[in-house]
Amino acid sequence: MTTTPTADAGPGEQLDALDRRLIHALSLDGRASFSRLAAVLGVTDQTVVRRYRRLHGERLLRVIGLPAADRLGMSENWLRIQCAPGAAAPIADALARRPDTGWVKIHSGGSEVACVVRSFSTDERDALLLQKLPRTQHVTGFTAQTLLHTFTSTTPSRWLDGSGLTAEQARELARPQPAGDGEEIRPDAADHILLDLLARDGRTGYPELARATGRSESTVRRRLEHLREAGALYFDVEILPVHFGLTVQAALFATVAPHNLDEAGRALARHPEIPWVAAATGTTNLVGTVLCRDRRALYTYVTEGIGALRTVQQLEIVPVLRHVKRAGLLTDGARLREPPAR
């Protein structure tokens, strides 16, 4: 594990057993100290530091801090943008450079761009939806769905197939479920800086967070912990699914009856093929992401996995042609290494 991985390395070749356990550990507590991680994994602090720095430095792993929109007064919209032939790539690149976009991808066929837009105010949202997009050259149309409730968050632990932590190790790192109730949290200017830094690197140290926000380290530590306990901020691990042998990605759009929406969303969230699914406005009131090993596995999942859910009335599966941005990370200047699609 000392050589630099190349772009054409096969799935799984860059991750050994300790790497996978470390990834699982960070998915449970992305800000756990190196000493705590080492104690749980049964290795030295120096080993954990070296492993983490290699994975992070080679763009194989990133811990990210993500806001919970419903707790912070944000609106989240899922956009499907239809483009003129040949225009999808530059439009996707322009969207990816916006600070308010999360996942930006180009769907198969190459003429549709999909992305998640997070806005702290209706003015921010409307500026994009009512002014910029309609005036953008080569945009032929778009739909916007408001995300109402997220059932899952992306975590690689479900893809480890028994190669992650033991149940006892996982219990040592697992954090209590956030309260997620009470009054909405209105972030101030310092909070915005804090969230921006953690979105780029969820393990940013307290001294750097304190300098950037103008707060003391103890104040930053307390504020960060308060946001986590209130369910307004959570930490996830971003790693390319192809490194777990998952080479096919697709977007899911499903229609269910309103009284079955929660049941269907929770059922999909339990499927290992679904890293993220959310209830949304519109006729396709469940949107999500599907990850499978290959096209045959995708067919099996659609026919047997989703097919077993009698609550799903209509289904659209759209393969992803290209990821342009992942959870706030541009794929150009700070690209995660992604082997070519198979």
Instruction: Write out pLDDT tens, residues 325-334.
Output: 876 554 433 3
Q: Model confidence over 59-103: pLDDT tens digits?
A: 888 899 988 888 888 889 999 999 999 999 999 999 998 888 888
Amino acid at 277: V
- Give the pLDDT of residue 342: 35
Please give the structure tokens belonging to residue 214.
């103008």
Residues 71, 310: Cα–Cα separation, whole Å: 32
- Give the pLDDT of residue 216: 97
CATH, range 241-321? 3.30.70.920
Q: Model confidence over 17-42: pLDDT tens digits?
A: 999 999 999 999 999 999 999 999 99
Selection from 291, 285, 281, 273 nearest residue 312 by Cα: 285
Residues 273, 253: Cα–Cα separation, whole Å: 14
Confidence of residue 152 (pLDDT cuts 50, 70, 90): confident
Q: Model confidence over 268-326: pLDDT tens digits?
A: 999 989 989 999 999 999 999 999 999 999 999 999 999 999 999 999 999 999 989 87
Confidence of residue 124 (pLDDT cuts 50, 70, 90): confident
Please give the structure tokens belonging to residue 193.
């800086």
Domains of the chain, by residue range, sit at 241-321
Would the pTM of this model clear 0.95, i.e. be above it?
no
